[in-house]
Structure 1
């Protein structure tokens, strides 16, 4: 692992129980994010390949939601503590400790990948290689839903996230990265979270085209 990955894993290990208690039911108060996750699940089911990865799954609450929405979902996280918590909280589901940059998944195996605020800690220069890995595991026609903090340009902005350093992105810039990875972004949802940081919440839904 790189230094920033080790630091991020250690930071999340230190707040597992607090983080899990804060986020377990958070989507119940976030109708926009919940709607996008539901749309993502419906479209993945429509591909005929219900296998989906929740990358950066944390305590596993969204992995469980994807399962409830009819997907064969599993979770992956860098933090050993988060993975242990997720396994305890959702014993019927599969969770693995792994980096998003090296997923334990074969090529073109998945109908969907969910990256719910899990790319925010990746330094901007490393994000293209991360997205390339997410594309590697997607079958043609597969879906990626990525959520992140959005800001007006120019360029990404580093900020002190409560757990580990993070970056917010101009939405058009992030969409260009997805295009560079070979994905077609076909839906965007951007809304004001009433955050004290002043960032917007952004959700981009993209598809890997068929050859």
Structure 2
């Protein structure tokens, strides 16, 4: 699991697009009154609450204590648990499992454990609806970070797992699912924060790149990344950075 440090306030205030885009995935989930639904990687709980608004019984889990604390404070009537998706033991079966923008934070080698957890949570039947970063997600940003860090002799740690459709569909189906829909697509995403949008995004999501890098060097790396990407990802007329997101979205049934 990534060691990224989360600030729930910064996450919600500056990167609310994460949960907003997740509402499209909720339409695929189509939660129904009376269903029991598990939200894996629930963050600050906004999409868990949206599931509950449908009349479903929603349970959110997240590995971050800070995120779970914020979710409980914001939605005190809902159920949130701090749990690692690789080891979570559900209390009873669920009708569906949902996940948005969370699974790519789990190392690729650990995804069979996650998929076993999902299969156990669903029992003999149920659906698994999720979206995560897909092959090539934020490639230009990752390449710029990689180049800047290597030029300074820093060890580069890549915190994310971005699979292809074929790779991940096969893994899901090896755990007793049938993948009924899967799509990898580009979703260029405007970043909040104006001229500081890219820097803010990296500081929220890219802690792992800077393990062992001192503060002064960190600022130099961020300056260099902005310089490398300005021509392609920054619009000077609107002072807006756009991240080169690619998403993998799928529906699977047991």
**TM-score for both structures, normalised by structure 2:** 0.65
- Ranges in structure 2 where 5+ consecutive residues have no aligned partner: 137-141, 146-157, 190-241
> More strand per residue: 1 or 2?
1
Q: Which has the higher contact order (CA 8 A, sep 6+)?
A: 2
**Is 1:19–2:65 an aligned residue pair?**
no
Query: What SS is found at the alignment partner of 1:205?
Result: strand
Aligned position for 2:107? 123
Root-mean-square deviation (CA, aligned residues, Å) is: 2.3
TM alignment of 1:1-211, pairs within 5 A: 4=1, 7-8=3-4, 11-12=5-6, 15-24=7-16, 26-28=18-20, 30=21, 33-42=22-31, 45=32, 50-106=35-91, 109-151=93-135, 165-195=159-189, 198-208=244-254
Query: What SS is found at the alignment partner of 2:47?
Result: helix
- Ranges in structure 1 where 5+ consecutive residues have no aligned partner: 153-158
How many residues matched? Answer: 183
Deviations 1:59-91 (A, max 9, x none): 001101111122110111111111110011111
> More helix per residue: 1 or 2?
2
d(CA) in 2 for partners of 1:103, 1:177:
19
**TM-score for both structures, normalised by structure 1:** 0.77
Larger radius of gyration: 2
d(CA) in 2 for partners of 1:95, 1:27:
17
